[in-house]
Amino acid sequence: MRKEIKFSGFGGQGIVLMGNIAARASAIYDGKNAIFTPSYGPEARGGAASSNVVISDDEIDYPYVTEPDVLVAMSQEAYEKYAPMLKDGGLLIIDEDLVKLKNGEGKVAKVPATKIAESLGKRIVANIVMLGFFTAVTKLISYEAIKKAVLESVPPKFKELNEEALDKGYERGKKVKDGKNGKMA
C-alpha cells in the first residue's frame, strides 16, 4: 500500500532531515520502497518548510506527495498551509504547544515534542522526538529502522541525546496509540 507522509514546520526545525531519516529508515532498514522529496530553494527557506515521503511495498511510480495519509505539523503556519491537503481519514500529528487546531479535524495525535526536547536540554532535537512519536503512532516504519537511521544521521557526540529524544517520543506515541495518555482524537 502506498502511504504518503508530509513533515512540516518552520525553517530551522530540521524538517527536511525528518523526511530524509524516515524515508531512509524505510528503504534501507525496513526493506520497503521509499522516496524522499524536499521542498527546495529560496522560496522554501522562509515560512513553512516541508519534506515529503512516500512509502510502499510496491514499486513507487509517481514520486510526490499530493494527498498525505499522515501530516506532521510543527508550526501553526505549516498546519494551516498543509492541513487542507490531508487525505480524508488521514492522520494529523501536531506539536501541541505550537499548533492550535481549528475546527473540523479528523484523526489527530498530539505530542509536546518541543517541550520534551527542552526537558532533554536541547530544543533542536524536537524533530527527533517527533519522529519517535510518529513511528509509534503510525507504525509505518519499524522502531529498529528509525533508530538506525537517526543514529547514522547525527554526529557521534550527539548520538546519546538523539537516542533519548527518539525514545521519549516513541514511548509517548505508544501510550497515545494504546489510549493511555490522551487518546487519539
Partner 1 sequence: MIKFYSGNIACAEGAIAAGCRFFAGYPITPSTEIAEHMALRLPQVGGIFIQMEDELASMAAILGASWGGMKAMTATSGPGLSLMQENIGLGAMTETPCVVVDVQRAGPSTGMPTLIGQADVMQARWGSHGDYEIIALSPSSPQECFDLTIKSFNLAEEYRVPVILLMDESVSHMSEKVIIPPKEKIKIVERKKPKVKPSEYLPFKADDYVPPMACAGEGYAVHVTGLTHDEKGYPQATSPEVQEKLVRRLCDKIRKNERKLRDIEEFEMEDAKLAIVSFGTTARSCKAAVKRARKRGYKVGLIRLRTIWPFADEYFEKIANEIKQFVVVEVNYGQIKLEVERCVGKKVHLLPKMGGEIHKPEEIYKKIKEVYNGN
CB contact at 8 A, 130 and 116: no
Query: Coil, strand, or helix at residue 110?
Result: strand
CB of 97 vs partner 1, minimal distance in Å: 30
Closest by CA position to 132, among listed 84, 182, 99, 177 = 177
Nearer to partner 1, 111 or 128 (CB): 128
String of DSSP letters for 115-160: HHHHHTT-GGGHHHHHHHHHHHHH-SS-HHHHHHHHHHHS-GGGHH
| Binders in 115-154 for partner 1, by CB under 8 A | none
Select 23 or 86, whichever has its Cβ closest to partner 1.
Answer: 23
- From the CB of 176, what's the least distance to partner 1, in Å? 29
Least gap, CB of 138 to partner 1 (angstroms):
20
Rounded Cα distance, 41 and 121, in Å: 31
Output 23 or 83, the one with its CB closest to partner 1: 23
Nearest to 7 by CA among 46, 34, 37, 43: 37
Q: Which of positions 13-72 make contact with partner 1 (CB under 8 A)?
A: 20, 23-24, 27-28, 33-38, 40-44, 60-64, 66
Give the interface size with partner 1 as a residue count (CB under 8 A).
22
Contact between 88 and partner 1 by CB under 8 A: the answer reads no
Positions in the binding site for partner 1 (CB under 8 A): 20, 23-24, 27-28, 33-38, 40-44, 60-64, 66
